[in-house]
Amino acid sequence: MNKWLRKVALTGLTAVAALSLSACGQKQNSSSSKKVTIEYFNQKKEMSGTLKEIIKDFEKKNPNIRVKEVDVPNPGTVLKTRILAGDVPDVINIYPQNIDFQEWAKAGYFLDMTHAPYIKNIKNHYADSFKVNGKIYNVPLSANVYGFFYNATEFKKLGIKPPKTWAQFEQIVKKIKASGKAPFAVAGSEPWTLNGYHQLSLATITGGATQANKLLRYSAPNGIKVNNPAIQKDFNRLDLLRFNSQTNWRGASYNDAIVSFASGKSMIMPNGSWALPLINAQKPKFKVRTFAFPADKAGHEMTVGSGDLALSISASTKHRKACEKFVAYMTTPAAMQKYYNVDGEPVAVKGIKQKGVNSELGGLYTLAFTNHDMVWLAQHWTSENDFFVLTAGYLMSGNKQQMVDAMNTFFNPMKAAN
């Protein structure tokens, strides 16, 4: 080979090598900077805007991860359908007290988080409250609490203070009605909003969650009777709503009830802490405050709740590291302070500045994470939908035997496991 041909050949080989190295480098860079998308299934529709802001903050810190937030109507039903079909979202806002969650965790649908570093960011070992077979499958970031929102400005004008006993509550309702205002704002067409009221009614009557379930879930088949003293008291508490709610409450939606309360037409609204952002969105012209469900004796008031913004990760996700990074970020003060500032519910993440007793939720906040704060009774039920439907059924009809029959029909199948 002459000198010129050798030079051309060497030049060609050098070019090929350079191209190969360049292609290799591009491939490596492409691999290391590959973006992934994870799905976040949200059940907190009212907090969707704030969650999107938090997600943007996370994506700025993690440019290779995109979080697609999914909001759907009837998310509980949709989630059940998807999980049973094996289509489990990557990260799920799921309520850890629900029997569905417990069964799905046992079946291996969720990632075991027991030893994850971010669990240490949750205070008071709150995640332990929802262990399944001794393992943690859910990170509860905030807790919902249920009680009564009230118009503190109008209360003061009428010389009314939040009740400490059931007898005081009945007197307050009479005084409000005499003033020409509707005592309660109730969403009769959305029975789930009454679930907490009825569960707290039974718990405060019987002495606690365990005693309430002894009456309902663990009594003999057909053991719930109209003439049972506790059931008689329960009718009394349900009747307080039945006879003292706003006009057209039977057909009212969740939003209708909030508007009735926030506009000042109704003075008290039984509902959960999740309603606060929607109340504030109506810009009420009065101080919004809360009080707990009163019992026969002062000092025995109660609230009910559970993990609210509570996250699980699919065990079958293709992007486990990305999911864990996102969940870990959600357990930081940077994320949850922004969330709390809008939502206002008690937060289980360490390092959050919370308003406390003088805030809108102050009357319930002080009971959160104490023995006055029970987990939803349905933690021991197969479902709770029929329970709040029968609650609304009684409020509509006042038929005592019908409600008791519906209770027995609902609980009898569960009692086979007793």
Tens-place pLDDT, residues 1-11: 443 333 334 44
Predicted confidence at residue 33, as pLDDT, reads 62
Note the pLDDT tens digit of each residue in 34-89.
899 999 999 998 899 999 999 999 999 999 999 999 999 889 889 999 999 999 99
Q: Which 8-state DSSP code applies to residue 294? A: P
State how beta strands 146-151 and 266-272 pair: antiparallel
Range of weakest confidence among 14-23, 215-224, 373-382, 391-400: 14-23
Helix pair 48-61, 333-343: axis angle to 10 deg: 170
Rounded mean pLDDT of 108-135?
A: 95
Give the separation between CA 285 and CA 267, rounded to whole angstroms. 13
State how beta strands 146-151 and 139-140 pair: unpaired
Q: What would the DSSP string read from start to end of 70-92?
A: E--SSHHHHHHHHHHTT---SEE
**CA atoms within 13 Å, Cβ hemisphere of 349:** 27
Smallest CA-to-CA distance from 149 within 274, 255, 244, 44 is with 274
Predicted confidence at residue 26, as pLDDT, reads 40
- What 59-64 contacts at long range (C-beta under 8 Å, 24+ apart), as own/partner pairs, is 61/329, 62/322, 62/325, 62/326, 62/329, 63/35, 64/33, 64/34, 64/35, 64/36
Instruction: Tokens for 58, please give them.
Output: 């996370």
Range of weakest confidence among 15-24, 96-105, 125-134: 15-24
Note the pLDDT tens digit of each residue in 254-288.
999 999 999 999 999 999 999 998 999 999 999 99
Give the separation between CA 388 and CA 294, rounded to whole angstroms. 20
Whole-prediction pTM value? 0.77
Q: How far is CA 191 from CA 145, 186, 389, in A?
A: 17, 9, 6
For residues 348, 350, 355, 361, the Cα torsion angle rounded to the nearest 10 degrees is 0
Q: Is the pLDDT of residue 248 over 90?
A: yes
Smallest CA-to-CA distance from 94 within 70, 107, 75 is with 75
Predicted confidence at residue 11, as pLDDT, reads 42
Q: Is the pLDDT of residue 203 over 70?
A: yes
Give the separation between CA 150 and CA 153, rounded to whole angstroms. 9
Predicted confidence at residue 15, as pLDDT, reads 41
Backbone dihedral angles phi then psi of residue 9, each to the nearest 5 degrees: -65, -45
H or E segment to which residue 65 belongs: strand 65-70
Share of the chain above pLDDT 70, in %: 92
CA 240 to chain centre: 26
Give the separation between CA 277 and CA 299, rounded to whole angstroms. 29
For residues 43, 341, 62, 105, the Cα torsion angle rounded to the nearest 10 degrees is -30
Instruction: Tokens for 185, please give them.
Output: 């704002």
Rounded mean pLDDT of 300-316?
A: 96
Residues shown for the chain: 418
Predicted confidence at residue 344, as pLDDT, reads 85
Tell me the pLDDT band of 320, cut-offs 50, 70 and 90.
Answer: very high
Q: What helix, strand, coil percent values describe the chain, rounded to 5? A: 50, 15, 35
Note the pLDDT tens digit of each residue in 171-197.
999 999 999 999 999 999 999 999 999
For residues 108, 44, 336, 52, the Cα torsion angle rounded to the nearest 10 degrees is 100
Q: What would the DSSP string read from start to end of 229-289?
A: HHHHHHHHHHHHHHTSBPTTGGG--HHHHHHHHHTTSEEEEEEEGGGHHHHHHT--SS-EE
